[in-house]
Amino acid sequence: MIASVSKMATRVRCSVVATAMAAALLGGCAVNDTGASEPWDPIETPNRFIFAVNRAVDTIAIRPVAVLYRDWVPEPAQKSVRNLLDNLGEPVTAINEVFQGDPSRAGVTLARFVVNSTIGLAGLFDVAAMMGMPRTKTDAGQTIGMWAGKGVEPENGGFYLVLPLAGPSNARDATGLMVDYAIDPFQILPVAFNWDFWYYSLPRFGLNVIDYRSRTMFALDDLEKNSVDYYAALRSAYTQNRAELIRAKRDKTDTKSELERRDNLALVK
Amino acid sequence: MPLLAGRRLAFRLAAGTAVALLAEPAFAASPAADLVSATVAEGFSIMKSPNSPQRQAAIKQILMTRFDLPFMAQTALGKYWDGATAEQRQRFVKATEESEAKTYNERFGQYSGLELKVVKTTDRPNGVEVVDTRIIQQNGSQPLKLEWEVRKTNQGLRITDVKVEGVSMVVTRRSDFNSYIQQNGGKVDALIEALEAKAKGP
């Protein structure tokens, strides 16, 4: 009850600030009945331009390759490529899990990395999952969103931003992307030991793009086909999806749910 | 005639399986959860027939009887609903129904044959029940999280929103629609025409 009242109070305060800012920038602010306001997009014109360029590049070069990859590469091979890429991403996830206040989860991620890199043949096979260590994935954008403070709704990630090639993002997640890049051992090592760009960095990047595009194909096609303004629909969907991930992180550290968890444990004993 | 009878039998069998599937899970005790599982089972069983205008009509029938489409349409239009005339509203709701039927035809097709698990039902203070479900994917990837908003209406319980991995259909539509209206000089007619054209198109 108290929580909901204080939440209401924050929401009111937020919407006052948001309205003031939006009034200055956009001339209006629609706060809907779910409490989520429209994503803040002060640089919509340049964003739409980059979005159009991205779409052109996607239609000509990326999507066709991703379709071929999805339909012609055998399923087990696709799975192994995904495992390999995921394994290279585990250290970043582990570091972020430490900063999200979940060192035990970080330990599991690290154990997964060790097991899969060795027994799993450099990450081609997800042996750790079979051993009862399921994969988790997180990034610095979520870490920032998690600690952004109670007053900041997870939907509020700063201004919306369309990145060249990478697509939808916002101030929070773009910062997270840079942080992840800076702390990734598999981005630092190639520079430190002068690994061949053509044999490591480029294939990793390329495979990541194709793998990611083939996995998002259905959802993006669905969104594009069923929207009248694809840019706005994707902006909304991206914001909501990121908010959901951050909300799940916050709920885990929420005092009430922590107490409930302990109660449940006590009941089990 | 024997062919027709056979088909009728097949349909009865399918309906029977759907009912059996529904009766099985013991945890799906709440009426809201039952509504969701029934809707999905019905959608999947329709998907067994090849794509045709009849199938799309059947999907539309599900949407009309299980979902509160006028409410969803009104929410999706957001602040522009108040300014719209009765005739505009009617055309808008009709156009949304058509385009949603198309959308769901494809969505049910994509997930057909997969297993839907009801996790839990949560009561919200505003009278909405949220049914949390997972779709178990075949290729071993993470299960898909689907949350269904169920509301009491005059016609009984109706689904008013579906959230896929946190992305609400209604909220996304509203963003989409509002932006389109803004791009077109704040005219609701522009949106209605675009939706009608979409419903007619391939």
Q: pLDDT by residue (tens digit) across A124-135?
A: 888 888 888 888
What CA–CA distance (Å, rounded) separates A153 from A120? Answer: 40
Write the DSSP string, A62-110.
IHHHHHHHHHHS-HHHHHHHHHHHHHHHHHHHHHHHHHTT-HHHHHHHH
Any chain A CB within 8 A of the CB of B191?
Answer: yes
Residue A194 in domain = yes
Q: What is the mean pLDDT of chain A?
A: 80
Any chain A CB within 8 A of the CB of B106?
Answer: yes
Answer whether residue A77 shows pLDDT above 80: yes
Query: Would the CA dihedral through A185, A186, A191, A192 be positive or negative?
Result: positive
Any chain A CB within 8 A of the CB of B137?
Answer: no
10 Å Cβ neighbour count for B92?
Answer: 25
Any chain B CB within 8 A of the CB of A174?
Answer: no
The distance from CA A181 to its chain's CA centroid, rounded to whole angstroms, is 14
What CA–CA distance (Å, rounded) separates B182 from B188? Answer: 9
List the single residue in A223, A229, A240 with the smallest CB-CB distance to B171: A240
The pLDDT of residue B144: 85
The helix (H) or strand (E) run that includes residue A33 is: none
Residue A241 in domain = yes
Check A79 against B106: CB less than 8 A apart: no
Check A232 against B179: CB less than 8 A apart: yes
Any chain B CB within 8 A of the CB of A212?
Answer: no
SS3 assignment, position A162: strand
- Identify all chain B residues contacting A243, using CB atoms and an 8 Å cutoff: 166
Answer whether residue A148 shows pLDDT above 60: yes
Check B194 against A233: CB less than 8 A apart: no
Any chain A CB within 8 A of the CB of B81?
Answer: no
Question: pLDDT below 50 — which residues of chain B?
Answer: 1-3, 13, 16-26, 28
Burial of B145 (0-12, 13-18, 19+ CB in 10 A): middle
Residue A173 in domain = yes
d(CA B9, nearest CA chain A) in Å: 34
Q: What is the 3-state secondary structure (H, E, C) of A171-236?
A: HHHHHHHHHHHHHCHHHHHHHHCCCCCCCCHHHHHHHHHHHHHHHHHHHHHHHHHCCCCHHHHHHH
ipTM tops the 0.90 cut: no
Give all domains of chain B, ordered by start, each with its CATH number: 5-194 (3.10.450.710)
Q: Tell me the average pLDDT across A197-209.
A: 85
Answer whether residue A31 shows pLDDT above 70: no
Q: Tell me the average pLDDT across A39-68.
A: 93
The pLDDT of residue B12: 53
The amino acid present at B86, given as its one-letter code, is: A
Which residue from A125, A153, A197 is spatially nearest to A32, judged by alpha carbons? A153
Check B107 against A237: CB less than 8 A apart: no
Residue A90 in domain = no
Residue A132 in domain = no
A236-267 as b/e: b if 16+ CB within 10 A: bbbbbbbbbbbbebbeeeeeeeeeeeeeeeee
Check B172 against A236: CB less than 8 A apart: yes
Answer whether residue A257 shows pLDDT above 80: no
The pLDDT of residue A249: 85
A220: domain range? Answer: 2-32+43-72+139-265
Q: Tell me the average pLDDT across A12-40.
A: 46
Reported residue count of chain A is 269
Contact, B194 vs B180, CB < 8 A?
Answer: yes
The pLDDT of residue A19: 41
Place of tokens 């994503």: A39
Give chain A's domain count: 1
Any chain A CB within 8 A of the CB of B183?
Answer: yes
Q: pLDDT by residue (tens digit) across A214-229?
A: 988 888 988 888 889 9
Residue A229 in domain = yes
- Identify all chain B residues contacting A227, using CB atoms and an 8 Å cutoff: 172, 176
This prediction's pTM: 0.79
Any chain A CB within 8 A of the CB of B180?
Answer: yes
Which residue from A31, A240, A253, A35 is spatially nearest to B124, judged by alpha carbons? A35
Residue A196 in domain = yes
